[in-house]
């Protein structure tokens, strides 16, 4: 297979993997590389997301995907629907617990944002695995 179409899955972010979606899906081979099988558009324009991709992204029946077009590519991105008021209250509670336990940060704002993003990603992954 040409090098342009082979790369380790570990080198991709979740968003990058989802950006690989279009009517040709790219599930993983047994060596953790992405391959290029075709997916057929069925009646009512339905397609099946291959098991490898569903598992890698922790997708379950009922999950929402945002569908967009980028050039000649259909991009599907997982989306969560949340109650904003409830999410805001939970965020405030978490921030209060964090501030109560930790001394003032010595990190610059960008480092703090990156750390928060990593923590959120880890939480979402753990949460997705518990709800399988």
pLDDT digits (tens, 9 = 90+) for 105-117: 788 888 888 888 8
If pLDDT is split at 50, 70 and 90, which confidence band does 18 have? low
**Can you tell me the distance from the alpha carbon of 115 to that of 107, in angstroms, rounded to the nearest whole number?**
10
CB atoms within 10 A of CB 25: 20
24 conformational bin, left if phi > 0, alpha if psi -120 to 50, beta if neither: beta
pLDDT-above-90 percentage for the chain: 16
Are the C-beta atoms of residues 56 and 9 closer than 8 Å to each other?
yes
Can you give the pLDDT at residue 14?
56
Are the C-beta atoms of residues 57 and 14 closer than 8 Å to each other?
yes
Q: What are the DSSP calls for 70-86, one per residue?
A: ETTEEEEEEE----HHH
**Of 19, 118, 103, residue with least CA distance to 69:** 19
If pLDDT is split at 50, 70 and 90, which confidence band does 22 have? very low
Can you give the pLDDT at residue 46?
92
Claim: this prediction has a pTM higher than 0.85: no
Token code pair at residue 61: 């029946």
The helix, strand and coil proportions of the chain, stated in percent and rounded to the nearest 5, come to 45, 15, 40
């Amino acid at each position: 297979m040409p090098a342009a179409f082979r790369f380790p899955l570990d080198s991709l972010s979740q968003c990058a993997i989802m950006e690989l979606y279009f009517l040709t899906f790219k599930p993983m081979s047994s060596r953790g590389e992405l391959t290029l099988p075709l997916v057929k558009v069925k009646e009512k324009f339905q397609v099946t997301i291959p098991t490898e991709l569903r598992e890698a992204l922790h997708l379950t029946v009922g999950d929402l995907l945002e569908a967009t077009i980028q050039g000649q590519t259909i991009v599907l991105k997982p989306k969560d629907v949340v109650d904003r008021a409830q999410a805001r209250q939970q965020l405030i509670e978490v921030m209060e617990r964090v501030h109560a336990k930790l001394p003032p940060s010595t990190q610059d704002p960008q480092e703090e944002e990156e750390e928060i993003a990593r923590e959120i990603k880890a939480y979402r992954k753990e949460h997705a695995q518990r709800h399988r």
